[in-house]
């Protein structure tokens, strides 16, 4: 099946690692030209290099997507170097931290949490998504075409205890995306959302993880009732396949939808 992605320009936020990396590699394998964004320059550069090694075209752009001016500068540079953005994947959703930075928050009861941690979730998932969408949408309207896919979590649909701000911010992405889908349908722009369950996107095998990372991973496996579904966690490639389809010419009549990618964890 031809996905008609050849030479399309795709911007993936948080593309330097995990799910975003998988999406970059998959879109590039289909012939898209990649703008690999990340808060951490080294991560973005590494993935852009991987794309080039597999014969594709990619640039790395370091930008904090919560900063609208930085996002506009990123889109301007990408447009100059690769062409106008055809596909935006709003993937970054777990706040990055600078090296050595201590960050409060994480998995915690809302009543004992600090506003600082809510702010980081809202800033990244809501403002990050809004900033990037705003920066590419005018061009898409003028060219009468484009695909916007945002990555939410099933937490935003079914709620996740100890992740209240995250769940709320992800739900906000969904409402925002549906509204934009209604606004720009007349301009032939498709706006959709994928809702992930737990993803095992590690680049290193389990045995090579640090002890604390192993503990975290074990806890995640335990906390997800994956036995109800497909009996495994998602892989980045599962998400990448779905996003490649939604970004493709094969999904022209799909808009304002949320596609659950949780292997049966949530069936809302
Ligand atoms: N991993 C999971 O189990 C899981 C489950 C449900 C949903 N999701 C969603 O999938 C998406 C990707 O998750 P992941 O696990 O691959 O995350 P990750 O933390 O492994 O990678 C995300 C990348 O985003 C970058 N990033 C963070 N803040 C940024 C910012 N302000 N500007 C630019 N880049 C920034 C980080 O530097 C990092 O490289 C997120 O939206 C997340 O909420 C993940």
| pLDDT tens digit sequence for 78-126 | 999 999 999 999 999 999 988 878 777 778 999 999 999 999 999 999 9
β-pairing, 87-90 vs 258-261, is unpaired
> Domain segments of the chain: what residues?
9-96+104-205+234-261
Distance CA 104, CA 122 (A): 15
Nearest atom of ligand 1 to the alpha carbon of 44: 39
* Total-model pTM: 0.95
Over residues 45-66, mean pLDDT: 98
Q: Is the CB of 125 under 6 A from ligand 1?
A: no
The pLDDT assigned to 228 comes to: 58
Closest CA relative to residue 265, chosen from 152, 109, 125, 155: 155
Q: Is the CB of 20 under 6 A from ligand 1?
A: yes
Ligand 1 pocket: which of 16, 17, 19, 23 to mutate (most atoms <8 Å of CB)? 19
> What's the whole-number average pLDDT of the chain?
93
The pLDDT assigned to 89 comes to: 99
In this model, does residue 227 exceed pLDDT 60? no
Specify whether 253 is catalytic: no
Cα(155) to centroid of ligand 1, in Å? 14
Min mean pLDDT across 66-75, 222-231, 239-248 is at: 222-231
pLDDT tens digits along 128-166: 999 999 999 999 999 999 999 999 999 999 999 999 999
Over residues 70-85, mean pLDDT: 98
Distance of CA 18 to the CA centre of its chain: 10
Over residues 31-40, mean pLDDT: 98
Of the candidates 127, 166, 224, 253, the residue annotated as catalytic is: 166
**Residue 81 β-bridge partners:** none
User: Token digits for 75?
Assistant: 């889109």
Q: Is the CB of 19 under 6 A from ligand 1?
A: yes
**Shortest-distance Cα residue to atom 1 of ligand 1:** 199
Closest CA relative to residue 6, chosen from 236, 238, 247: 247
Distance of CA 150 to the CA centre of its chain: 6
Q: Which CATH number fits domain 9-96+104-205+234-261: 3.90.1300.10, 3.40.50.970, 3.40.50.720, 3.30.70.1060?
A: 3.40.50.720
The pLDDT assigned to 205 comes to: 66
**Residue holding tokens 């301007």?**
76
What SS3 class is residue 37?
A: strand
Cα(252) to centroid of ligand 1, in Å? 27
Min mean pLDDT across 11-15, 38-42, 255-259, 264-268 is at: 264-268
- SS3 assignment for 117-158: HHHHHHHHHHHHHHHHHHHHHHHHHHHCCEEEEEEEECHHHH
Q: Is the CB of 241 under 6 A from ligand 1?
A: no
Q: Is the CB of 90 under 6 A from ligand 1?
A: no
Q: Is the CB of 35 under 6 A from ligand 1?
A: no
Confidence band for 201, pLDDT divided at 50, 70 and 90: confident
């Amino acid at each position: 099946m031809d996905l008609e992605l050849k030479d399309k320009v795709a911007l993936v936020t948080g593309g330097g690692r995990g799910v975003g990396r998988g999406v970059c590699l998959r879109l590039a394998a289909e012939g898209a030209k990649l703008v690999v964004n990340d808060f951490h320059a080294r991560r973005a550069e590494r993935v852009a290099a991987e794309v080039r090694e597999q014969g594709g075209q990619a640039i790395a752009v370091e930008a904090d997507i919560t900063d609208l001016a930085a996002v506009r500068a990123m889109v301007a540079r990408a447009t100059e170097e690769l062409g106008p953005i055809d596909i935006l994947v709003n993937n970054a959703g777990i706040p990055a931290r600078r090296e050595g930075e201590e960050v409060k928050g994480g998995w915690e009861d809302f009543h004992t949490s600090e506003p600082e941690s809510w702010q980081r979730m809202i800033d990244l998932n809501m403002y990050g998504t809004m900033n990037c969408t705003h920066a590419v949408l005018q061009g898409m309207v003028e060219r009468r075409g484009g695909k916007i896919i945002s990555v939410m979590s099933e937490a935003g649909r079914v709620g996740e205890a100890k992740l209240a701000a995250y769940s709320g911010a992800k739900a906000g992405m969904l409402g925002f995306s549906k509204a934009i889908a209604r606004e720009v349908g007349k301009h032939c722009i498709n706006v959709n959302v994928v809702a992930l369950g737990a993803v095992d996107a590690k680049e290193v095998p389990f045995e090579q993880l640090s002890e604390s990372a192993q503990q975290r991973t074990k806890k995640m496996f335990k906390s997800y009732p994956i036995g109800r579904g497909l009996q495994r966690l998602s892989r980045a490639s599962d998400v990448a396949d779905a996003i490649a389809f939604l970004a493709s010419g094969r999904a022209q009549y799909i808009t304002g939808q949320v596609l659950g990618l949780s292997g049966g964890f949530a069936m809302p």
